[in-house]
Amino acid sequence: MSVDKSKSALQVNKRPKDDSDDESKDVTENKSDYTNTSNPKSLVSLNEQILSIASTPIKIVAVCGSLRKKSCNTACLKYAQTNLPPNVTFEILSIADIPLFNQDLEDSNVKTREANGPKSVAIFKQKIRESDAIFFGICEYNLGVSGVLKNALDWASRRPYCLKDKPATCIGAAGGSGSMNAQLDLRKWSIELGIDIMNNPLVMIKAFEKDIFNWNRDNDKEPELISVKWQQRIVTQVRLLRDYALKKKYAKLVFNEISAAKVLIIGRNQDIMDKVLEGMAKQNFAAKGVVTDDAVLKELKENEYDVLMFGGGVESESLEKINKYIEENKINIKSFTGNK
């Protein structure tokens, strides 16, 4: 990668599309365009976007690993659903109708797979895809997670994906360790599934201890969570998941805003410029690098930039010349970085 001192070098690697339908698409290079098709100048202001995120409820979907009517974990999820912190919606998804995973039931064409596959799977995956976060209620059988939850996650792991980078947390009610082993199973699988599961705090409820649930083995009444301690812990867990999902939304917004910006880098050392541009290209930032004052003024005249980045070695006389040109021509630069 080199910098042409007379024309400047345009570093443009088109951002790879996040297209799960076709993972074979190559990252292409187009020297007449920038990394991003969006221009911050045409977008709603950053403040308005932040306010929009802040005012939109975080959509959480809950998944219980038990199908049992008298499930303690379902009772925990129902308590959470009726005692939500502000700015949250909470929907409990059913996995009861999801069939045993069988690749023979899948359409070989990824684009039509969900439309032609089991309807319950398509609904389950779409609900997850549309959500901001997942709240798991984990029961434990034989020192591990339940087969029905593992089966649902096996279906959800198939393309087109729905779990990648999805914020999540888990709570569990069980005998013995309070679902510790099952929760460890989920955390282990999350690495492969790409689920972004919160590490802490842990909520492991010993379901058969006194005054935790008001359930009775001898009747069909669904149990209720009555322990004030665990009621508070579950509400806290929902709040923490909400906040975690919000932070990820804000971070994504800021990253997209920055990476969509057109950057003009001004330096004097071609070797250093090459390395800077190479690093920025790897991060999919759109940048040009120039090493002469004439090239800078030419770029500012012919193209719009959001950020000017000054490298080391740029003389004060050059800085004054560039700043004067910007002021006289009323050029709108959003940000200056470096030695301005």
The two counts, helices (H) then strands (E), for the chain are 10, 13
In this prediction, residue 1 carries a pLDDT of 37
Distance from C-alpha of 64 to C-alpha of 98, rounded to nearest angstrom = 13
How many CB atoms are located within 10 Å of the residue 286 CB?
Answer: 23
In this prediction, residue 273 carries a pLDDT of 87
In this prediction, residue 38 carries a pLDDT of 39
All residue ranges of the chain with pLDDT < 50 are 1-44, 340
The answer to whether the beta carbons of residues 90 and 57 sit under 8 Å apart is no
157 CB-side CA count, 13 A: 16
In this prediction, residue 271 carries a pLDDT of 87
CA angle 237, 188, 185 (to 5 degrees): 75
The secondary structure element, H or E, covering residue 319 is helix 316-328
Q: What is the dihedral of CA 84, 90, 91, 95, to 10 degrees?
A: -90
| Helices 180-193 and 147-156: angle between axes, nearest 10 degrees | 10
**DSSP β-bridge partners for residue 337:** 309
Distance from C-alpha of 191 to C-alpha of 158, rounded to nearest angstrom = 15
